[in-house]
Amino acid sequence: MKRPFRAMLVSLAAMVLLMAPGCGAVDSLLGGGSAGTVPSLWSDVPPLEGATKADLQLPAATRIFIQAAFQGKLEFIAYTTAKTPQEVQQFYSRERMQSAGWNSDAGGCMDAASSGVANAAFCLFGKRQGNRDEGLVIVVSQNEQKTQTQIFYVRIDITATPTPQP
C-alpha cells in the first residue's frame, strides 16, 4: 500500500476516534440512520464473536472528510460488543487478518492512547484484488455511558486513478 494512502487511512481512523467518543456518547454525535452502507460484514473480514450489528452512523465531519478524500468509494458497517477495545484489537491480529487475505503493510492494529484517546484502537489493513486496491479501517471506541464497545468497519477503494497522458 502506498504511503499517501496509508496517511489518509491513519487520518480517517484518527478523525473517527477523536470525533466519535466526544462528550462520552457516540450516539449523540452520530444521529439515527441505518447501520452503515452494507447489510452485513464482508465475507473476507473475520467477524468478532458476540458482536451485534448496530444502528450507528459515522460522524458528519468524518463523512465529509471521507467523501472529499475518497470520492464516495467506501462502504461501512457498525457493530457493538461487550468486549473491551483491547480485546477487539487483539482479535484482529496480523496473523488472523493475513489468513483472511489482508496485509498489515498499512500498520495493523494500534492502541489510540498515543493520539490522546483512551479506551480506543484502530486497525489498518490493505489488499489487492485483481487491479483493485482496498483499505480496511477498523475503528474501536468504548462508549462508557452504555458500557459497550463500538466497532466501525470502513472499507475503502484506494485504487489509484490513472493520470491521463497529454
What pLDDT, in 10s, does the model give residues 78-134?
A: 999 999 999 999 999 999 999 999 998 878 898 877 667 778 888 989 999 888 889
* pLDDT for res 151: 93
pTM of the model: 0.76
Of 29, 37, 88, nearest in space to 67 by CA: 37
Domain coordinates in residue numbering, the chain: 3-157
* pLDDT for res 50: 95
* β 120-129/103-111 pair status: antiparallel
Return d(Cα 46, Cα 95) in angstroms, integer.
12
